[in-house]
A and B are shown apart, each in its own frame.
Chain A
Amino acid sequence: MVAPALAMVLALFVYPLGMSLVSAFTAKDGAPSLDNFAKAFELYGNDMVFTLVIVTVSTALIGVLAAVIGGYLVLGAHPAAVSILKGLYRWPLFIPFIVAAQCMRTFLAKNGLMNNTLATLRLVDVGSLSGLLDWRGIIVTFVWKETPFVALLVSGAMASLDRATIEAAANLGAGGLRILVGIILPQVAGVMLVGLTLAFVTMLSVLSVPIMISGGSPTMITVDMAFRVNSYGDYGVANALAFVSYAMAGLAAWIYLQRNAATGIGL
């Protein structure tokens, strides 16, 4: 009964993935070579670093925010504040990246709602402001969009923990932060890692956000791949870039599997 579903994934994902790998290591004349990689690193080396930095920083911020949100939902002493937070943080959960990008494209612009609001509150001087429509905007959009997903997973896991150890620590005088870092987070690390790995890989393959938030160079390699394919029909270099993105995703998956093997947590 599983076979049809498996066949679908094999035909539409695993096979094209294999094509991609073969194409990356094949020169235009069909001989095996590393030319595509040489060209990819020469033209898009900066973009690779840029991509890795953006995705890594975003993942780290998402992890911290998800831990704080989840922690407050479990430990928060004020029911009103907890329920406000609960109703608040999830809004971007299912909002598509492309819509998030359009929101941010206007919100983070030099003359966008964010700068205008801050200026109206007299917190900043609008003349001295620039917009955030560059690498910072990409990170803001990623964090805005992906935090609710990881926070939802993590807070779900936190809510089902045994309260006894938390209360024991509280009785012994541990503060909220100490309980969160010392007792709760180690127990939900598995779920946190799954969430962050999925978020990392998702951000690695988003095309709309880098195009719509920051048009110029440097940009993310997703944009370069689309450009190579659409403008030159150059599948070789595009697939070499693809290989780099698989390697980055593989790195994330490796970290996840390390942890998974160490604790024996199942899927």
Chain B
Amino acid sequence: MRAALGWILRGGLLGSLAFAIFGPLANLILWAVAIQWYFPHKLPLTWGFKYWGEVFKPTSDTVAALGTSVLIASITVVVCLLLAVPAGYALGRAQVPGRRLILLLLLLPQAFPNLAVYFNVARLFYTVGVNGTIAGVVLVHAAHGLVIAVWIAAAAFAAIDPELELAARNIGASAPRTALTVTLPLAMPGVTASAIFVFLESLDEFTGTYFVGVPDVTTLPLVMFTASLAGNYQIAAITALVLLVPSVGFMLLIERFLKADMLARIG
């Protein structure tokens, strides 16, 4: 009897949690496949993929914005990794003077209210002519993603056993060769994780793009925002789903990349 009551309680709590987590997503999916839906109907009146055709036709704003978003995110990953891999290597392996201060400085863009900084960046970019350009948006995204990329890379490099590198050097490999064929491949899962993370952050970024990219650079989140405020819920929902799929995919895969005890070291 007590056991049954316990399961009813557990089931109720887990069920409520599932409703709280999946309810909002379900509502989004309903809007994505609704054609007509208005008050006071609890479910859409007509269903179908009519709006999908509109959103994904080659000349649509969404398709263009998707292209821009992927382009920006890809360049951001390259810029970020070029900066983060050496920094992560140094911070993870070598004794860098002022290591704590450096980590703190890199943390600033995540640990400070960045909206306030973004409109000042936009003002700065305006004077040097990069406002409203892809390059400007990439710079803002890269600065924001940098700390996570450095952190993950530093943890990945710190986890490599130095004996492996010594062994490679002992049998005659040069330092660059050791770095390329031993150290980097061992750090690859961490570097890949930071690349995916930076890509997603950039793909999803709204506030920075809103100030720095407008009016010439339109990314997917901006299209979604405009559609939502204009009341085009179908278009907003379909665009949101496009943003949602990679995010959920990464969430499901994260344990492959990040071990829980690695997270425990933060703090």
Contacts and interface: CB of A to CB of B under 8 A. Distances in A.
A220 B140 CA distance: 23
B247 A98 contact: no
A12 B89 CA distance: 23
Interface string A92-107: 1111111111111111
B267 to A, nearest CB: 4
Interface stretch (A25-33, A42-50, A169-177, A189-197): A189-197
A13 B120 CA distance: 9
A96 B221 contact: yes
A19 B140 contact: no
Contacts of A194: 266-267
Secondary structure call for the B interface: helix
Interface stretch (B159-167, B187-195, B225-233): B225-233
Contacts of A157: 263-264, 267
B83 interface: yes
B90 A1 contact: yes
Contacts of A89: 17, 21
B78 interface: no
**A-B interface, 10 closest residue pairs, ranked by CB to CB distance from nearest:** A242-B116, A96-B204, A103-B24, A156-B260, A156-B263, A1-B86, A191-B267, A205-B113, A205-B115, A94-B247
B40 interface: yes
A93 B254 contact: yes
B139 interface: yes
Nearest to A69: B17
A211 B120 CA distance: 21
A117 interface: yes
Interface in A110-161: 111-114, 116-117, 120, 144, 152-153, 155-157, 159-160
Contact of A5 (B84, B123, B204, B248): B84
Chain A interface category by residue count: 35 or more
B90 A2 contact: yes
29 contacts: A4-B86, A4-B87, A5-B106, A6-B87, A8-B139, A12-B109, A13-B109, A13-B114, A16-B123, A88-B18, A93-B247, A97-B206, A99-B224, A100-B24, A106-B30, A106-B233, A113-B23, A116-B42, A144-B24, A156-B261, A156-B262, A191-B267, A207-B210, A226-B119, A239-B116, A245-B116, A246-B113, A267-B107, A267-B266
Contacts of B174: none
B180 interface: no
Contacts of A238: 116, 119
Interface in A47-84: 78, 81, 84
A198 B24 contact: no
A17 interface: yes
A212 B228 contact: yes
B28 A102 contact: yes
B260 A155 contact: yes
A14 B30 CA distance: 44
Which of B21, B100, B207, B264 has the largest number of chain A CB atoms within 10 A? B264
Given A2-B96, A198-B111, A266-B100, A225 B140 contact: no
Contacts of A100: 24
